[in-house]
Amino acid sequence: MTTPKILAFAGSARTESFNKKLVKIAADGAKATGAEVTVVDFRDLPMPLFDEDLEAANGLPDTVLQFKDLMKAHHGFLIACPEYNGSITPLLKNAIDWASRPNPTQDEAPLACFRDKTAVLMSTSPGALGGLRGLVHVRAILGNIGVIVLPDQKAVPRAYEAFDASGNLTDEKTRIEVYNLGSKLATVTAKLI
């Protein structure tokens, strides 16, 4: 059986992002289930605001090409999605928009980074809904571009209280649920590849 390769990232660049901490817990679950996991931090891949004039003049930025290569090299995605004003963060939307652009220097199928990939979504926020409203938008976007988004998801409320100083979830039931998201993605993806 082929080992599933999972790319894990959060739609936040903030150093102490709660969503970065959350996705690492899910990544641990995927690793424990036998997946090969790569965790990416968007702070290490800064992408300019998507602009077709910029693209026409200079081609795809190097950081976009790096992100696209990572996406194409993996079978599934663990995505922690912060919620901004009830929706997707500009950082995550910008990364998705750039990744959806074809690379003119390669013979690349449309939406090659997304088609037939699997994904699991999660979020955490200081609010009582834990970022749940934003997950609806991310799910719709990814589904429209060919990603198989599993129904399993988790929104963790009151993020300031949910994590300890080491970045671990303090509630064991919640930790297991997030960990199991990674395990589920790895298991389902292994069956599909």
Binned at pLDDT 50, 70 and 90, residue 107 comes out as confident
Rounded Cα–Cα distance for residues 81 and 39 (Å): 14
Rounded Cα–Cα distance for residues 5 and 136 (Å): 25
State the total domains in the chain.
Answer: 1
Q: Is residue 1 over pLDDT 80?
A: no
DSSP string of 57-107? HH-S-HHHHHHHHHHHT-SEEEEE--EETTEE-HHHHHHHHHHTS--TTS-
pLDDT for 83 equals 95
CATH code, 183: 3.40.50.360
Q: Is residue 110 over pLDDT 90?
A: no
pLDDT in tens, 66-106: 999 999 999 999 999 999 999 999 999 999 999 999 988 88
Inter-residue contact 8 to 39 (CB < 8 Å): yes
The pair of structure tokens assigned to 26 is 């899910």
Rounded Cα–Cα distance for residues 76 and 146 (Å): 12
pLDDT in tens, 6-55: 999 999 999 999 999 999 999 999 999 999 999 999 999 999 999 999 99
Positive or negative, the CA dihedral 159, 150, 99, 74 is: positive
**CA-based radius of gyration for the chain:** 16
Q: Say if residue 111 is exposed, middle or buried (CB neighbours under 10 Å; 0-12, 13-18, 19+).
A: middle
Question: Can you give the residue range of the structural domain that contains 184?
Answer: 5-192
pLDDT in tens, 136-182: 999 999 999 999 999 999 999 999 999 999 999 999 999 999 999 99
pTM of the model: 0.96
pLDDT for 84 equals 94
Binned at pLDDT 50, 70 and 90, residue 109 comes out as confident
| Per-residue DSSP letter, 123 | E
Chain-centre distance of CA 56, in angstroms? 27
